[in-house]
Structure 1
Amino acid sequence: MARIEDYALLGDLQTAALVSTAGSIDWLCLPRFDSPACFAALLDTPDAGHWSVAPAAGGTCTRRRYVEDTMVLDTEWVTPEGTVRVIDFMPPRGHAPDVVRIVEGVHGAVAMRSDLTLRFEYGRVVPWVRHHDDRVEAVAGPNRVRLRTPAPTEGRDMSTVSEFTVRAGDRVPFVLTWNPSHEPPPKVVDAERALTETLRFWTDWTQRGNHIRGPYRHAISRSLLTLKALTYDPTGGIVAAATTSLPEQIGGGRNWDYRYCWLRDSTYTLQALIAAGYLTEAKAWREWLLRAVAGEPADLKIMYALDGTRYVPESELPWLAGYEGSRPVRTGNAASDQLQLDVWGETLDGLALARNAGLASRDDAWDLQVALMNHLEGAWDQPDNGLWEMRGARRHFTHSKVLAWVGANRMAEAVRTHPELDGPADRWAALADTIHADVLAHGFDAERNTFTQSYGAPGLDAALLMIPRVGFLPPQDPRVLGTITAIQNGLTEDGLVKRYDTTDSDDGLSGGEGLFLACSFWLVDALHLAGRTPEATALFERLLSLRNDVGLLSEEWDPEAGRLLGNTPQAFSHFPLVTSALQLHAGRGHHSSQAIAVDGTEGTPTTGP
């Protein structure tokens, strides 16, 4: 089985595929990110569905890369018989999703093999396959897939196999297209034309952003492209990752479905997109956010489906063995029903950032923010499950209280700096002061000079590194510096940061987890803000070295095995990469509700809700 870092991402802005260094697409959900997979070998064996296009002799590719600043992947094998290249991409969605693979002979003559094994419903349903003169058609229930190629095809062992030889100058296309089985077939895609148009789309998109300078330009650009590829274009929502159930520890039970949109990603998302000049995407995300949270403020969820659906029930797929035996495989996410008070503050912080960046306003945006704030006023002092979605007893998490302070602070600040906005600024400011005092009284351990994960308990939490970033305390306050030191001493391994000590968790789940990459980027920011920029830069460059060969990061890092863990590619790893890189470029820090300009300066606040 391929390692998590062996996968590259293809995407059409509505779903995504993962292709390994062996040339096999082992994960693809159609027609949406959160649809059932038709290729699920990632979570089982090749019999659960895959599509390999590679030299018949097999083996790992010699090299691969994305074509410049695009999501078109070139994979090359140098063999004793010659050199061959496979060009993989998904054209930005037209009427139907397509996966295009073009086999190009570079020199010599290389025997090739395509092995297409379609298994709908996460590997459970074998389709009925028919071979026609110009295509192969597979149907099962609501799904129809057509494969068109000039290469010969035949059915073999419940798969469609093509065996052919490519010589220098040959280009053999394969086009896989899905559509609902009850609808007429979509228009046939010309592979070469689609390649030209896809390259142009991504090149144009990259050029539309700011021209970022500095030593981290390529890393920033690749992360932004990854985030764009994780965007569900019809609504503007951005999924946390393209996968479900990739484990946080090999063989463990912390395997979650990340094909949804988390509210806590909102501020990071907006910072990264606005800083890079992608205001259209930032506005689309803001509009998704406003639609998703509309309704009764007490019913605010921590996460939503791509279209804003609130109900994402969790279930298990017992017929899948799991990635390297890591079970259970889950779909949906029961954490969507948890109480996590930090999301109110994160939502209000994100909308404050959008307002201060001058994104076009909506008439109902401020009324909704006031409603959210009114609810937070009466709920901030409740225990909750915390941002790490603890499945044990609720507690008074320090980070949750800090984010409640953020919500009150941003709302009071908005009324005072934007004359057209109406609200009880003095009352909200007084509430912010009350929450601030409560956190200092109950969430800070003066003996150890550190903030703690929850009130009255000694445990640490990497989320405490956010305290200076959100403006709760100055970055060089002794309590902040003490917390940084405590986390470096108590929550780091091999220089990288854990979320918290899972051995003290009461969530009843098996297994531990790796080192959480987003938390390590938070340490970069905290060190930089504290004036320890050389140390921050060294850590940042260490994190860059953990990316795979095509610049992707998953959720976590296993320091013992030296490998990536968790769902991939992880938006919550790539957002902070962008913001940390921009801060280091600029040599200064920023407030979470302020946009970072491409040169690192703070954005100028403007009016509008």
Structure 2
Amino acid sequence: MPHTPIADYAVIGDCRSAALVSASGSIDWLCLPRFDSPSVFGAILDADHGGRCLVRPIETATARRQYSGDSNVLETTFTTASGVLRVTDLMPVDSEAAKARELWPEHELLRRLECLDGHVEVQVVFDPRFDYGRVTPRIHRGPGGVFSCEHATGALTLFTDIRLASGEDGKGLVGSDRLAVGDRRYLSMTYAHDTPAVLAPLGPEADRRISRSIVWWREWTAACRYHGPHREAVVRSALVLKLLSYSPSGAIIAAPTTSLPERIGGVRNWDYRYCWLRDASLTVRALCDLGFDVEAEAFLSWLLHATHPTWPRVGVVYGVYGESRLAERELPYLSGYASSRPVRVGNLAAGQLQLDTYGELVEAAFVWVSRGGELDRASKSNLVGLGRAVCSRWGMPDDGIWERRGGRRQHTHAKVMCWTALDRLLSLHESGHLRVPVSEFTRERAALRAEIEGRGYNERLASYVSVLDGEEVDASLLVLALHGYADARGARMRSTCDRIREQLGVDSLLYRYREHDGLPPGEGAFGICGFWEVECRALQGEDATARRQFDTLLTHANDLGLFAEEIDPVTGAALGNFPQGLTHIGLINAALSLQERGRQ
């Protein structure tokens, strides 16, 4: 069976989990009750055994899709020879106050079918598979279109007004229906993990949940302060970040999927359903500068809470409740996306050492305070403790921002982020927000700069380099200007940008690096790296170049404005986990930088 291109998927969610919906009407990925829970639908990783929920016309159809305005409610319109069908997909959301006034399912996946013209014959397949496709549940039929199945992780209930029967070999449910113009049908799947099952009504009540969800998303986006060029792309990126947030804790995950490959048929397949500290300061900056202070504060609070139990060691990646042990394992019985194996769950990066995370945490707090935020006493103490840890640890080799599995090295980017941590803590001391050992932090900050300038810059290449005394560049060096370590208009930073473009660039895109990393070669261009370059060029005063590159980068989104982690420079295909929060963060921050340049 041909695989669905990654870019053909849309995402819906409820700020606790998310589902991927193909342009052909198949929900091929959904984990419940959390982003990082085992999948209920997983056909994206194995079409035969993963499970899906499919709604589509039986006739050949063309599909056009959009989100309902500034929301995460998806509308797909199918046009056939006999009629037009619109399918609305969402995971309903509302305020906590509204939920407290009525029965509300722990999770609901709601699909509404409407015939807009003529008549349309529709096909329905409901085939859940628990535990990453390992368990095919027995589905029990109840009265009035109610079906249910259970597994150790919870219970699914399907409520529908479409007649369904057992599928082949008793697996799943299948059915069909004929809709004439004006007809509506519904499928409501609810999930109960540790609460009583709630049956969500169909008909007008389902329509009301859809309307309320659209209003909820639009009221949230109304807080966005960005009114510059490409506002639609910026707002869509903000909606992706909100969808990737785990509302009970404030965590923001990297992506809602696992094991979508960086190279089709390759082994670079990782689980991204967790929270990476390397994204911290960029995320807080994006949220604050767009006007989403509640989310920024919640995320910063989660960051400081999650890292406290392991202090002075700061982890690389955490679960949504701050779990630091994310054991990685392979699922050999799954064929993988487009035969890309292995399929992995968990992530070994949780056991790596990345010194840049110290700088990311402190910078995130600095951004929050500089935008008017406050820190409590415990947070201040933790931040000073991070600075002391930097003083004692910055000379160590680490695994680096890109998490290469070839051994620890002296990464220039890591040293710069350690410098950033001490620099921001000294600034917070000077502004009276906390008290630090000034002489120690000042001494170590100067030692870091001497080390970086003496060994992290290669005179022959006229560029900062990936590792101390090295000969290779990598795209993370662009953030030296973004974090204020290096003057973007200075000779060293200008020549570094030029060398990165020369060695890593393909059109408007950038690879992360070219050197061997311990894995079979082959990955796409890295989405955020192109947006980092846009910011650097803007800071250098090259406004026309930066805007032209930004415009070109936007063309690599799918039809809904969604980006994957990587892009194939040859075909333009989306690669890696999807949608990728870090790419959208890069887009937001690049747009904000361009807007600021326009004001100057």
Q: CA deviation at 1:383?
A: 0.7
Q: CA deviation at 1:12?
A: 0.5
Q: CA deviation at 1:413?
A: 1.2
CA distance, structure 1, for counterparts of residue 529 and residue 223 of structure 2: 30
Q: CA deviation at 1:130?
A: 1.3
CA distance, structure 1, for counterparts of residue 139 and residue 530 of structure 2: 48
Question: Residue 151 in 1 paired to residue 165 in 2?
Answer: no
3-state SS in 2 of match to 1:208: coil
Report if aligned partners of 2:17, 2:34 keep a CA contact under 8 Å in 1: yes
CA distance, structure 2, for counterparts of residue 239 and residue 406 of structure 1: 24
Higher mean C-alpha deviation, range 37-46 or range 255-264:
37-46
Choose from 353, 364, 370 the match for 2:367: 353
Choose from 148, 172, 190 the match for 2:185: 172
Q: CA deviation at 1:330?
A: 0.4
Q: CA deviation at 1:214?
A: 2.4
The amino acid across from 1:493 in the alignment is V
Q: CA deviation at 1:5?
A: 0.2
Q: CA deviation at 1:355?
A: 1.3
Choose from 226, 229, 250 the match for 1:236: 250
Report if aligned partners of 1:95, 1:186 keep a CA contact under 8 Å in 2: yes
Q: TM-score, normalised by structure 1?
A: 0.94
Q: CA deviation at 1:143?
A: 2.6
After superposition, residues 192-203 of structure 1 pair within 5 angstroms as 192-203=207-218
Q: CA deviation at 1:323?
A: 0.7
In structure 1, the partner of 2:97 is none
Q: CA deviation at 1:162?
A: 2.2
Question: Residue 191 in 1 paired to residue 206 in 2?
Answer: yes
CA distance, structure 2, for counterparts of residue 569 and residue 19 of structure 1: 12
Question: Residue 208 in 1 paired to residue 208 in 2?
Answer: no
Question: Residue 16 in 1 paired to residue 18 in 2?
Answer: yes
In structure 2, the partner of 1:443 is 456
Report if aligned partners of 1:108, 1:168 keep a CA contact under 8 Å in 2: yes
CA distance, structure 1, for counterparts of residue 122 and residue 310 of structure 2: 57
Choose from 41, 44, 48 the match for 1:42: 44
The amino acid across from 1:547 in the alignment is A
Report if aligned partners of 1:129, 1:138 keep a CA contact under 8 Å in 2: yes
3-state SS in 2 of match to 1:128: coil
CA distance 1:484–1:525, change in 2 (3 Å): same
3-state SS in 2 of match to 1:139: strand
After superposition, residues 373-384 of structure 1 pair within 5 angstroms as 373-384=387-398
Q: CA deviation at 1:132?
A: 1.9
In structure 1, the partner of 2:69 is 68
CA distance, structure 2, for counterparts of residue 262 and residue 251 of structure 1: 26
Q: CA deviation at 1:92?
A: 2.0
The amino acid across from 1:92 in the alignment is V
**CA distances 1:390-411 after superposition (whole Å, capped 9, x unpaired):** 1112110000011110011111
CA distance, structure 1, for counterparts of residue 90 and residue 245 of structure 2: 16
CA distance, structure 2, for counterparts of residue 355 and residue 368 of structure 1: 15
The amino acid across from 1:356 in the alignment is S
Q: CA deviation at 1:423?
A: 1.5
Report if aligned partners of 1:253, 1:328 keep a CA contact under 8 Å in 2: yes
Report if aligned partners of 2:82, 2:120 keep a CA contact under 8 Å in 1: yes
After superposition, residues 526-541 of structure 1 pair within 5 angstroms as 526-541=536-551
Choose from 418, 424, 431 the match for 1:410: 424
The amino acid across from 1:2 in the alignment is T
In structure 1, the partner of 2:403 is 389
The amino acid across from 1:184 in the alignment is P
**CA distances 1:4-38 after superposition (whole Å, capped 9, x unpaired):** 00000000010000000000000000110000001
In structure 2, the partner of 1:491 is 504
CA distance, structure 2, for counterparts of residue 551 and residue 216 of structure 1: 11
Report if aligned partners of 2:24, 2:63 keep a CA contact under 8 Å in 1: no
Q: CA deviation at 1:62?
A: 2.3
In structure 2, the partner of 1:591 is none
After superposition, residues 500-515 of structure 1 pair within 5 angstroms as 500-502=513-515, 504-505=516-517, 507=518, 509-515=519-525
Higher mean C-alpha deviation, range 129-138 or range 518-527:
129-138
In structure 1, the partner of 2:87 is 86
In structure 1, the partner of 2:101 is none
CA distance, structure 1, for counterparts of residue 64 and residue 200 of structure 2: 31
CA distance, structure 1, for counterparts of residue 123 and residue 317 of structure 2: 42
Question: Residue 543 in 1 paired to residue 553 in 2?
Answer: yes
Higher mean C-alpha deviation, range 88-97 or range 267-276:
88-97
Cα RMSD of the aligned pairs, angstroms, is 1.4
After superposition, residues 305-320 of structure 1 pair within 5 angstroms as 305-320=319-334
CA distance 1:326–1:493, change in 2 (3 Å): same
Report if aligned partners of 1:397, 1:454 keep a CA contact under 8 Å in 2: yes
**CA distances 1:285-321 after superposition (whole Å, capped 9, x unpaired):** 0110110111343321011000111111100000111
Higher mean C-alpha deviation, range 88-97 or range 559-568:
88-97
Higher mean C-alpha deviation, range 559-568 or range 224-233:
559-568
**CA distances 1:559-596 after superposition (whole Å, capped 9, x unpaired):** 122201000100000001011011112216xxxxxxxx
Question: Residue 99 in 1 paired to residue 109 in 2?
Answer: yes
**CA distances 1:251-293 after superposition (whole Å, capped 9, x unpaired):** 1111110000011111111111111111111111011011011
3-state SS in 1 of match to 2:126: strand
In structure 1, the partner of 2:385 is 371
Q: CA deviation at 1:188?
A: 2.5
3-state SS in 2 of match to 1:284: helix
The amino acid across from 2:578 in the alignment is T
Q: Which runs of 5+ in 2 are unaligned?
A: 95-103
Q: CA deviation at 1:48?
A: 1.4
After superposition, residues 463-474 of structure 1 pair within 5 angstroms as 463-474=476-487
CA distance 1:183–1:90, change in 2 (3 Å): closer
Q: CA deviation at 1:46?
A: 4.3
Q: CA deviation at 1:58?
A: 5.2
3-state SS in 2 of match to 1:62: strand
In structure 2, the partner of 1:595 is none
After superposition, residues 207-286 of structure 1 pair within 5 angstroms as 207-210=222-225, 212-286=226-300
**CA distances 1:136-179 after superposition (whole Å, capped 9, x unpaired):** 11223333111111111111111211210111111111101111
CA distance, structure 1, for counterparts of residue 60 and residue 125 of structure 2: 12
Report if aligned partners of 1:110, 1:165 keep a CA contact under 8 Å in 2: yes
Higher mean C-alpha deviation, range 200-209 or range 395-404:
200-209
In structure 1, the partner of 2:578 is 568
CA distance, structure 1, for counterparts of residue 200 and residue 27 of structure 2: 22
Q: CA deviation at 1:495?
A: 3.1
Report if aligned partners of 1:87, 1:103 keep a CA contact under 8 Å in 2: yes
CA distance, structure 1, for counterparts of residue 122 and residue 521 of structure 2: 41
Choose from 130, 142, 150 the match for 1:120: 130
CA distance, structure 1, for counterparts of residue 195 and residue 564 of structure 2: 37
Percent identity between the two aligned chains: 36
CA distance, structure 2, for counterparts of residue 547 and residue 58 of structure 1: 26
Question: Residue 524 in 1 paired to residue 531 in 2?
Answer: no
Report if aligned partners of 1:411, 1:425 keep a CA contact under 8 Å in 2: no
3-state SS in 2 of match to 1:372: helix
CA distance, structure 1, for counterparts of residue 313 and residue 57 of structure 2: 53
In structure 1, the partner of 2:100 is none
3-state SS in 2 of match to 1:298: coil
CA distance, structure 2, for counterparts of residue 378 and residue 47 of structure 1: 50
3-state SS in 1 of match to 2:222: helix
Report if aligned partners of 2:65, 2:77 keep a CA contact under 8 Å in 1: yes
How many residues align? The count is: 583
Q: CA deviation at 1:475?
A: 0.7
CA distance, structure 2, for counterparts of residue 232 and residue 55 of structure 1: 34
Ranges of 4+ aligned residues in structure 1 off by more than 3 Å: none
Question: Residue 555 in 1 paired to residue 557 in 2?
Answer: no
